[in-house]
Amino acid sequence: AWQLATRANVEVFAWMPLLAFRLPPAHPAAALQVAAADPDGARAAYARLSPFHPLARATIAELYADLARHAPFRGILFHDDATLSDFEDASPWAQALYAREWGLPGTVAAIRADPGAAARWSDRKTAALVAFSRELLDRAGAYRAPLKSARNLYAGPVLDAQAEAWFAQSLPAFLAAYDQTALMAMPYLERAADPDAWLDALVARVRAHPGALDKVVFELQAKDWRADRAVPAAQLAGWMRRLQLGGALNFGYYPDDFVRDEPAYATVRPALSLQAELE
C-alpha cells in the first residue's frame, strides 16, 4: 500500500468484507453466522457473521483495527457481501433483537406475514448495515484518520424498488452515508439480454437522484465469470464510452490482469484517460 501511494501516486483503499469472515473453528464467534428462514434452502453467496450478535461485531471490529494499525491506506471499500436477504437474519439473537429493539414480531416468519412489519424490517436492516459499516470506519479511523468511505452496491436495488428487501441495500442510503458508491455495473453478472440497453437504464436511474453522478463509481466487469472468459477490451471500452454519454462521471473495471494484459491496456486507455485523447 505504501509503495502504491508513494510511487504510483494513487489513493489506496482497503477492499474489505463487512460480514464474510471465516474464523477458525475454535474461535468463539465462528458459529455466530447469519441464518436464513428460506423454506427452499437457497444457498447464499457468502457465509457471513451476524451483525446482530455483539461478539461477532466485536470480532470484526478487531480485524479492522488490526488492519489499520499495520497498513497505510486512505479509505475503505466495503465489499458486496454486505447484504441481508428477505429471509435473513433468522438467527435466534437477531430475531430477539427485532422484537426487543425494533418493535417487530419475534420471528422472521411472522414479520414476513405482515406487509407493514416486513417493510419496516427491510428499512431497519438497510440502516443497520450502514451503521455497522460506519462503526468499523471509525474503528479503523482511530489509526488512519481521516479515512474515505465507499461501498459496493448491487444493480438490483437501483433498477427495482422492491429489490432493497432482497439485499438490504439502497442507493439513497449509500449516497448519504459514504463518500463513494461503487455500483456494480456488470451486465453479464445480471444476465442482461442487451448489455448496452441495461447500462443505459442503470445510468438513467442513477441520474434521477440529484447529485448521485458525483458520488457513484460505475464498476464494470472485465471478466464474464459465468462463461469464464475475459470481456473483450474493445467491448469494455465501448461500455465506458456509453456510460460517459449517459452522464457518468466516474467509472472503472474489475478485475485487471496486468500480467496477461487483460483487458488490453492500449485499447481501454483512451476510454479511461483524457490525457490519452490529448496525445
Give pTM, 2 decimals. 0.93
| Cell numbers representing residue 63 in the block | 480485524
219: exposed, middle or buried (Cβ count in 10 Å: 0-12, 13-18, 19+): buried
β pairing state of 75-78 and 13-16? parallel
Rg (alpha carbons) of the chain, rounded to whole number:
20
CA distance 60 to 18: 8
Per-residue burial over 249-276, b if 16 or more Cβ lie within 10 Å, else e, is ebbebeeeeeeeebbeeeebbebbeeee
Give the per-residue pLDDT at 274. 64
Place of cell 434521477: 208
Question: Which has the closest alpha carbon to 117: 140, 95, 139, 143?
Answer: 95
pLDDT for position 41: 67
Which three three-digit cell numbers place residue 26? 475454535
Provide the edge-to-edge strand list for the sheet that holds 180-185.
13-16, 75-78, 148-153, 180-185, 216-221, 250-254
Spans of the chain below 70 pLDDT: 41-42, 274-279
Residue 24: asked if its preceding bond is cis (omega within 30°), the reply is: no
Contacts of 279 by beta carbon, 8 Å cutoff, 6+ apart: none
**How far apart are alpha carbons 49 and 141 in whole angstroms?**
22
Q: What is the pLDDT of residue 164?
A: 92
pLDDT of residue 278: 45
**pLDDT number for residue 43:** 73
pLDDT at 191: 94
pLDDT at 44: 79
Whose cell is 406475514? That residue is 113
Which pLDDT score is estimated for 97? 98
Strands 223-224 and 229-230, bridge-based pairing:
antiparallel
pLDDT, tens only, 72-100: 999 999 999 999 999 999 999 999 999 99
CA distance linking residue 277 with residue 17, whole number of Å:
36
pLDDT digits (tens, 9 = 90+) for 186-235: 999 999 999 999 999 999 999 999 999 999 999 999 999 999 999 999 99
Cis check for the bond before 263: say yes or no (omega within 30 of 0). Answer: yes
> For the chain, how are helix, strand and coil distributed in percent, rounded to 5?
45, 15, 40
